[in-house]
Amino acid sequence: MKMRPVEKSDYYKVISVIDDWWGGRRMADMLPELFFDHFRDTSFVVVEDHDVLAFLIGFVSQSSPQEAYIHFIGVHPDYRKEGLAKKLYENFFAIVKEKNCCTVHCVTSPVNQVSIAFHNKMGFSMVGGKWYRTRCAGPYEL
């Protein structure tokens, strides 16, 4: 397995499996191709033999350059519980720290208890019902 920045061609690999990874829920509309064009330095895939096993799409805010946002993360169902999401998050934290960010935001569904538990474990806290973030003084010292 290898983690690397996303490439434009990864979009088609991700979009072709994303709905299946979410149990048939329609998720593809939430991930436009523009993310694979414009946020390659802060978005990553984990690949093995040209197959995408996991991905994270994130960016630094243009309005608040000290803040970053994780827009989407996904892990192939057969590779969950192997720490790929944690590795992607830690890589994202390191990259945005180099860009002088000290806050990371993301969102998850309020009914997704697995995701909420993961984010709590990663040092995020709930804000406004479903938003999560970590501050400079958080466990990753962003």
- Please write the tens of the pLDDT for every residue from 22-51: 888 898 999 999 999 999 999 999 999 989
Q: What is the pLDDT of residue 134?
A: 54
Locus of tokens 């945005």: 96
Q: What is the pLDDT of residue 135?
A: 55
Domains detected in the chain: 2-134 (3.40.630.30)
**How many Å apart are CA 93 and CA 61, to the nearest integer?**
14
Question: Which residues does 59 contact at the CB level (< 8 Å), separation at least 6?
Answer: 35, 38, 39, 42, 43, 68, 69, 71
Note the pLDDT tens digit of each residue in 54-67.
999 999 999 999 89
Name the DSSP letter for residue 29: G
Structure tokens at 128: 């406004």
pTM: 0.89
Is residue 72 classed as helix, strand or coil in its secondary structure? Answer: strand
**How many Å apart are CA 62 and CA 45, to the nearest integer?**
23
